[in-house]
A and B are shown apart, each in its own frame.
Chain A
Amino acid sequence: MTQEFWRWKEYNWKDGTKDWRNARIITAGVDVGSVSSKVAIMTDGELYAHSLMRTGSDSSQSATKAINWAMEGSGLTIDKIQYVVGTGYGRVNVPFAKKSITEIACHARGANFIWGQSVRTVLDMGGQDCKAIKCDEKGKVSAFLMNDKCAAGTGRGMEVFADLLSVPIEQMGELSFAVDKEPEPVSSTCVVFAKSEALGLLRQGWSKEKVIAAYSSAMAHRVFTLLEKVGVEKDFVITGGISKNKGIAKRIENELKITALPRPDKYDPVLAGAIGAALFAKALVEKEKR
């Protein structure tokens, strides 16, 4: 089989030091994105287990698979989870979710949990769209803007380029820095056109690294214009799959002249939406009890 360069690593994790049987409130957030499905299971407001998987063609099946993978080996079953909130693109297709909440609210809430109360601007760079979110110290959204009209500035666009250049997607960020001088960004914002433009550049003798750099800065600029519209305030953070791409993150920081808070060791920023959903689920359980 040929190598699939766009394929990123799926994984699950469990906090071995905790036992869900001792928890008072068990909630879960299921974030079914267009490209990946994320599940976060929380016990009393602390992260207990999570999983990250590729979303298949059937979103409800992907949601079930992802939650089962997160629970694997813990003895925990869906019926023991008091409240499940669905979020993301496929949020209405989560069969075991009691409620669905937009990923906008969940990412803000999740970022507030991951980085702390100082977060004011969240940039969620997802698989299929890109969102600029502003929030207050409680993680409540005060303004948002979403671009889902085209794939420019999204993970899907990056996947297309990884495949075109035969570079594993995890290495795209690193390689984009391997140029002597930052090249002009590719002029097309559309991914399909950018792809043909990149092919032309390769034929002219550009190195792969140079093409990646040119595409990365075009992507960063596109996202920058989106952020400009809502206005960026410190502290600024990036969530979603693209947050793992240093080449993009760095270029956005350069345009904004604001440094994003560094990626925490403890939590994967890709999980922000799922964590936010699980936290909302906890708040909803508490509201029901009252």
Chain B
Amino acid sequence: MLANYGYKDGSGEFFITIDTDKCDGCGKCVHSCPAKVLEMVTDESDPFREIPVVAVSEEHRKKIKYSCSPCKGATCKTTQKTALPCVKSCEPVAIVHSW
């Protein structure tokens, strides 16, 4: 399942997409994120899933543009998206940023 967390507003589109079928629940991304945007949860959208899944925490969902901006500024423009700590830490490539 592609879980899109984030929003679209007057200033643009800000989504973190998590492919829950790829996520193996390792939790490395959670530790890699300096802003604590990500968390491991039991998948409430799939009652039959047995392993935990990563999600954008409730607290950050409506402001990820700002929560993620320190990482975005620190990485080089051309490699930006793959150089993000969360994206880099995920071996199964389950995390994608839309901006």
**Which A residues have a C-beta under 8 Å from some C-beta of B?**
85, 99-102, 104-105, 140-150, 189, 225-226, 229-230, 280, 283-284, 287
Contact = CB atoms under 8 A, between A and B. Distances in A.
Contacts of A99: 47
A102 B8 CA distance: 21
Given A143-B2, A229-B8, 10 more contacts: A101-B47, A140-B46, A141-B46, A143-B3, A144-B4, A146-B4, A148-B61, A149-B9, A229-B4, A283-B48
Interface of B: 1-4, 7-10, 13, 15, 44-48, 61-62
A29 to B, nearest CB: 12
Interface centre among B3, B44, B48 (most CB of A within 10 A): B44
Contacts of B61: 148
Contact of B4 (A140, A143, A149): A143
A140 B62 CA distance: 26
A99 B45 CA distance: 12
Q: Which 6 A-B pairs have the closest CB atoms?
A: A143-B2, A145-B4, A105-B45, A149-B7, A102-B44, A102-B45
A12 to B, nearest CB: 27
A279 to B, nearest CB: 11
Contacts of A85: 47
A144 B8 contact: no
A144 B1 contact: yes
A148 B47 CA distance: 23
7 contacts: A100-B44, A104-B45, A145-B4, A145-B15, A147-B7, A148-B62, A226-B8
B45 A141 contact: yes
Among A102, A150, A225, A230: residue with most chain B CB under 10 A? A102
Nearest to B21: A142
Contacts of A226: 8
Contact of A144 (B2, B9, B47): B2
B1 A141 contact: yes
B25 to A, nearest CB: 18
